[in-house]
Structure 1
Amino acid sequence: MTASPIRLLIHGASGRMGQALLRLAGDLRELQVVAAVQRRIGQRVVDGVPHFASSELAGVPAFDAAIDFSLPEGFDPVLALCVARGAAFVSGTTGISDGQRQALRDASGTVAVLWASNFSLGVAVLDELVERAAAALPGWDCDIVESHHSRKQDAPSGTALSLGEAAGRGGAQPRYASLRAGDIVGEHLVQFAAAGERIELVHRATNRDIFARGALHAATRLAGRAPGLYRVRDLL
């Protein structure tokens, strides 16, 4: 007997990530996009997917998980809707406040939630390797170098800071360097160095679709899970 597909809501559907999610989800039999939400809508149905304006969020059909790549002002309503509906919540919205991070922790008592600065499955593995290396190499210097396209304004990147947190959990004290050049999608190098030797752990992204695929993977694995605050690496 074939299992029913997971019903997915995509919030922030008009953005670059939202468009990638809609395109890639259409190829996955285990997922069914039941609603795409954006600030303003043109067509009501696009490629069989119903579209809703942000002001109509409360009226979307039943869903099992939501993926949110929107703006901080759109974060609270969709998180509250997931709590009210008992649906899993996956978000990559950047720039959220400390209060919104606390709201995530509060929501994790009711539903499964995941917020990440990077949804690459490779970065999730790198995060674990960095923590293990830091714990195994006490006293070594730890440096994180991240490179992105010339239009990226924040530095260090959210992913670099997350890798720094992983290094910190292992006991290291990371330092950061940022490069902005050309059209680099994203590169992160974590270096551990001591007298006479060094270790380099590197992840290079060459296509932004990896982030959308990772978010879809997370939503698929998170739907139906027990309430809690999850990380991408928990869902590998």
Structure 2
Amino acid sequence: MTLRESAAPIPELLSLTTESFTYALEVLANIDSDLAHILETLGNPPRWERESGFPTLLRIILEQQVSLAAANAVFNRLSGVVLSLTPENFIKLGDVQLQEVGFSRQKMRYCRELADAIVNGRLDLAKLETMDETAIRTELKRIKGIGDWTVDIYLLMALKRPDVFPKGDLGIAIAFGAALPIAIQNIKKLPTRPTPAQIEVIAQNWRPWRAVATRILWHYYLSNAKRKSVKVDL
């Protein structure tokens, strides 16, 4: 008996588990033949998770509007300078040090805003783990430099929420290589690349597992990128 056929459906979850991820893949394959084809052709996608906390949120800020390769290079250099990447240690770094690592002035300001909010008690990342998505979005967006896209990626990857869908940035337009719109255009055989509004309409069918559908689409995009020798590290 498959999970889809089991008598009791998996209840609404705060975060994805191994069991619910597998269940969601089967549900999505049953309701969308295009996603089913990706899974049949490429196999199941990775879960693509990151540890919750300050380093991950800082890394996502670095990924805003730049390539993942560039953001990862800056983050890795920063991790080499600050062996324990805590808000307290980050605040101690001067402008020159951060510029040498590769921070722009804007990213420097945003990451310092985040670190300062945590150090001064205006933001408690641990408490976000049990909050609903609306409350999390409100809390994080109080920090200058954090918008909906950054919140979506943190919810999806770090907090592992099952129905998050990063639609507001043309599917992670630069940082994630336009993965969602390109993948959706290809698998749905659309004449032009879909807008965020069009993507949102298409994704309604994938609720309440849009975060899992996103991973399937990333899987499809990255498989094509690898065939073209394009390195993308999520």
Same fold (TM over 0.5): no
Structure possessing the higher relative contact order (Cα contacts under 8 Å, 6 or more residues apart) = 2
TM-score, normalising length from structure 1?
0.31
Higher-helix-fraction structure: 2
Higher-strand-fraction structure: 1
